[in-house]
């Protein structure tokens, strides 16, 4: 008898889960159901200024294995490219400062380099150094926020100037509320293994350098990250899976003790022996509300931020600052709508031009919705004015593209991973054969989503087939 599997959601998580199941389980009847007309979720690439330019994520972490492993599975490993620029700036206290050498997610590992950079004050450097002598935190301490940990160990200035902008930018959030365990597990490991953020960060950097000192931090694809999605989609189809687009799953009910019926908004139904939900938490919570109501409530309480990406093509002659880095982050204390600007044509050699700079300006943080309420013209005008102040842009772009991503980035509060474990346990006990995963569960970024999808699919295969 053929086992029927429905995967809900055709983003990177859903497609990876589908391919993993097709790889490890023989003879299953698998369909991926996607509400939009696109596969890949927020991974999209479009023609801009004569190049294929990503509309959201343009890279993935190279020093974790999952992204590279998937590219190898899809025959893309040799196509991966590293950024041409390996440094970046921070806009703070009214000017651009180059990030000092030796940072690990904003944690300084070389205090002399930090002092020489001028990014923080002498008092800020001295306060950071206390982390090395204050001793480890008490054993058994509960998960806390990144802000609480870093401010206690390194001081407010290191958090406000370095760690906050870097980590807050990852999920368009506020690292003062970000769970260490879910959002910065490297910090947790540093404290657990070394009793010091600086000592732990040094050890982590030394370990990475020892294995491959020239290894890039990120990888991308020269014609955009959607090539990864296209290859993944094609592999699912080639393995016998089906992908139904433009169809929204609206209900999940038991057919009997071993199977499910999924209803859609257009009246279609799917019979399934196993179900994998990879939807955002606010969607997943509605789908499982009748099965695990307490879990559904907790899922629905996770907040999301709504960033916007404005891509600009600008004559280089109009910019009064060397484009000698990958771009810059903006400290929240500056009060700008602009949160970051990637100098994409400097970051990636394949986007470079003698005459035109491609800039990817980001706006919107959690609890800062000014960009959401601006019209497109107001938003572009605001960002151009702020780019004039921050990097000396004096003039109008030759091309503009606006991508708004409402409710796209989950915000992980302290204790998030404990809550996620409760969700998994409840589903396993009450709804065996139905599993849920995705960016809202155990981490943002492509490798994290790929890892969760792969683990969830293999676990389901062991338990249900």
Could you state, in order of their start, the residue ranges of all structural domains in the chain? Answer: 4-43+224-303+412-464, 45-85+304-409, 101-211
| Least confident segment among 90-94, 139-143, 363-367 | 139-143
In the predicted structure, residue 1 carries a pLDDT above the cut 70 = no
In the predicted structure, residue 366 carries a pLDDT above the cut 90 = no
CATH 3.90.1150.10 fits 4-43+224-303+412-464, yes or no: no
Q: Is the pTM of this model over 0.75?
A: yes
Helices 12-24 and 446-464 pack at an angle, to 10 degrees, of 40
In the predicted structure, residue 464 carries a pLDDT above the cut 80 = no
In the predicted structure, residue 214 carries a pLDDT above the cut 80 = no
Please state, in angstroms and rounded to a whole number, the distance separating the CA atoms of residues 145 and 136: 17
Per residue in 318-354, pLDDT tens?
999 999 999 999 988 899 999 999 999 999 999 999 9
Superfamily of domain 45-85+304-409: Protoporphyrinogen oxidase, mitochondrial; domain 2 (3.90.660.20)
Query: What average pLDDT does this structure show over 8-28?
Result: 96
Band (pLDDT 50/70/90 cuts) for residue 217 is confident
Per residue in 406-459, pLDDT tens?
999 999 999 999 999 999 999 999 999 999 999 999 988 899 999 999 999 999
Per residue in 253-270, pLDDT tens?
998 878 999 999 999 999
Please state, in angstroms and rounded to a whole number, the distance separating the CA atoms of residues 317 and 323: 11
CA 128: distance to chain centroid? Answer: 28
Report pLDDT for 179: 96
DSSP H helical ranges for 25-121: 65-73, 111-117
In the predicted structure, residue 211 carries a pLDDT above the cut 70 = no
Query: What average pLDDT does this structure show over 58-72?
Result: 94
End-to-end alpha carbon distance in the chain:
11
Q: For residue 173, how many other CB atoms are within 10 A of its CB? A: 27
Tokens of 462: 């062991």
Three-state DSSP at 414 gives coil
Equal fold, 45-85+304-409 vs 101-211: no
Query: What average pLDDT does this structure show over 155-165?
Result: 93
Fold held by 101-211: protoporphyrinogen ix oxidase, domain 3 (1.10.3110)
CA–CA distances in Å: residue 352 to residues 59, 210, 217: 17, 32, 20
């Amino acid at each position: 008898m053929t086992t029927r599997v429905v995967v809900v959601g055709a983003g990177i998580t859903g497609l990876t889960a589908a391919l993993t199941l097709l790889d490890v389980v023989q003879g299953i009847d698998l369909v991926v159901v996607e509400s939009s007309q696109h596969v890949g979720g927020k991974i999209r690439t479009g023609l801009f200024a004569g190049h294929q330019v990503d509309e959201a994520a343009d890279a993935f972490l190279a020093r974790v294995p999952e992204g590279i492993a998937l590219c190898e599975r899809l025959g893309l490993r040799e196509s991966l490219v590293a950024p041409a620029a390996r440094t970046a700036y921070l806009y703070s206290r009214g000017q651009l400062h180059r990030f000092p050498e030796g940072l690990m997610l904003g944690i300084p590992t070389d205090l002399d380099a930090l002092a020489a950079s001028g990014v923080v004050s002498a008092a800020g450097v001295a306060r950071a150094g206390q982390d090395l002598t204050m001793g480890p935190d008490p054993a058994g301490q509960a998960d806390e926020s990144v802000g609480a940990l870093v401010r206690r160990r390194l001081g407010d200035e290191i958090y406000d100037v370095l760690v906050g902008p870097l980590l807050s930018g990852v999920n368009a959030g506020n690292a003062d509320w970000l769970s260490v365990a879910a959002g910065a597990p490297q910090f947790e490991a540093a404290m657990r293994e070394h009793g010091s953020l600086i000592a732990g960060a040094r050890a982590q950097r030394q370990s990475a350098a020892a294995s491959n000192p020239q290894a890039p931090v990120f990888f991308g694809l020269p014609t955009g990250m959607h090539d990864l999605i296209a290859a993944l989609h094609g592999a699912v189809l080639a393995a016998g899976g089906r992908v139904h687009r433009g169809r929204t799953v609206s209900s999940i009910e038991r057919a009997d003790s071993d199977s499910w019926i999924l209803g859609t908004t257009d009246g279609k139904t799917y019979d399934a022996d196993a179900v994998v939900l990879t939807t955002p938490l606010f969607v997943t919570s509605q789908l499982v509300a009748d099965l695990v109501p307490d879990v559904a409530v907790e899922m629905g309480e996770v907040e999301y931020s709504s960033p916007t990406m404005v891509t600009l093509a600008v004559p280089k002659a109009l910019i009064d600052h060397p484009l000698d880095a990958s771009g810059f982050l903006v400290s929240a204390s500056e009060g700008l709508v602009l949160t970051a600007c990637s100098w994409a044509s400097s970051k990636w050699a394949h986007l470079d031009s003698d005459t035109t700079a491609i800039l990817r300006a980001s706006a919107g943080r959690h609890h800062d919705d000014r960009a959401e309420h601006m019209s497109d013209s107001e938003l572009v005008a605001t960002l151009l004015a702020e780019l004039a102040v921050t990097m000396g842009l004096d003039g109008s772009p030759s091309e503009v593209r606006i991508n708004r991503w409402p409710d796209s980035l989950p915000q992980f509060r302290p204790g998030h991973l404990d809550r996620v474990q409760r969700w998994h346990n409840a589903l396993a006990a009450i709804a065996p054969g139905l599993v849920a995963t995705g960016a809202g569960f155990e981490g943002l970024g492509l490798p994290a989503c790929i890892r969760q999808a792969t683990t969830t699919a293999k676990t389901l295969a062991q338990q249900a087939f």
